[in-house]
Chains A and B, each alone.
Chain A
């Protein structure tokens, strides 16, 4: 961590401690919310990574046969912008996949790609984080979608270029692909 970030953390921790000192009424977190947090936690992401690797291997064959959308059971829409390929999303099961063809490779040490899912039921300024990924080889690449929050009605998928690790709110300075969606 650089010195500026460490300084910011330390000062904000002093503020947080002052807030605690003044008194925060504590309520238990609802059990249902706790389970949602756990489902979207790092273990879940690890699981998705493993799932993604397995799914990618299966999809290499599925793609060749032309039935990969059926593997997710959702609706497929094509990317526009710099990317070629499709995104398939199943809103009922909250799962999906992205396929990219000829997408520019990124160096994960300096930048990553991040998917954003615009939800018609949420404020458009805050699309749902659909996960961070890298394109590490030429040709066709398939990436699982890892939505961090439930997506009630997907209306648009967008891929941005962000700093390593991704961001919570994108400045949308580099949008490389979008796909309008009306499947759910």
Chain B
């Protein structure tokens, strides 16, 4: 099983952009997009969704969202795979919230090779991984709890033994730092 990890090289060339071609209605772009990002979307859905059938329904909704949103992709902000992951994660979280449950992600973290994923995914993953290490430990902990557990912000505050406002501040500053790193990393 492949894994998106921090082990990729940032010098890898970026792959040809697909989302602008999808947005332009170019023949064949949709199939290429599904072939390139299907594994990523399916894997994220499997982590968030309740069972296989729920994941399959979610994947179809995610791609419908992606076709609608393709024109919004801006490569100056992040890579295409990260945009796809963002759309997938948002849809999955919305689905769980609509069901009255908080997002819960079953983490299967590991250190396997990154074969089978896209160079674009690896580039953003590496930039984010490096920047995660530059975050203050408490910012990193808050962000990891937010991403990988079903804890609410008040619960994260309780777990970390700090006020709620402090947790929100950790998360916002941490995300801003990652966002800046992605932007700089992609535009140098």
Contact = CB atoms under 8 A, between A and B. Distances in A.
Interface of A: 1, 5, 9-30, 33-34, 36-38, 40-43, 46, 123, 125-126, 129, 148-149, 165, 168-169
A5 B107 CA distance: 28
Interface stretch (B88-96, B152-160, B162-170): B88-96
A40 B42 contact: no
Contact of A21 (B34, B46, B128): B128
Interface residues of B, number: 74
Contacts of A26: 1-4, 39-40, 43, 116-117
B19 interface: no
Interface of B: 1-6, 22, 25, 27, 30-31, 34-35, 38-44, 46-47, 56-57, 59-61, 63-65, 67-68, 72, 77-78, 81-83, 85-86, 88-91, 94-95, 98-99, 107-112, 116-117, 121, 124-129, 132, 143-144, 146-148, 175-176, 178-179, 182
13 contacts: A9-B72, A14-B175, A14-B178, A18-B143, A19-B89, A21-B127, A21-B132, A22-B147, A23-B109, A24-B43, A25-B110, A129-B64, A168-B64
A36 B144 CA distance: 34
Contact of B77 (A9, A19, A22): A9
B128 A25 contact: no
Contact of A37 (B25, B43, B59): B59
Chief secondary structure at chain B's binding surface: helix
A108 to B, nearest CB: 15
Complex A-B, nearest 10 residue pairs according to Cβ-Cβ distance, in ascending order: A29-B38, A21-B128, A21-B129, A17-B128, A29-B42, A14-B178, A16-B86, A16-B85, A14-B179, A20-B125
Contacts of A43: 27, 30
A13 B82 contact: yes
Contacts of B147: 15, 18-19, 22
B77 A13 contact: yes
A42 B22 contact: yes
B42 A27 contact: yes
Given A15-B147, A16-B89, A37 B38 contact: yes
A15 B56 contact: no
Nearest to B97: A169
B42 A41 contact: no
B169 to A, nearest CB: 14
Contacts of A18: 128, 132, 143, 147, 175, 178
B182 A148 contact: no
A15 B42 contact: no
Given A13-B83, A17-B124, A37-B38, A149 B60 contact: yes
A38 B72 contact: no
A20 B128 contact: yes
B94 A168 contact: yes
B85 A42 contact: no
Q: Which residue, of A14, A21, A33, has the highest number of chain B Cβ atoms within 10 A?
A: A14
Contacts of B35: 34
Given A13-B86, A30-B42, A21 B126 contact: yes
Contacts of A16: 78, 82-83, 85-86, 88-89
A161 B58 CA distance: 23
A5 B71 CA distance: 13
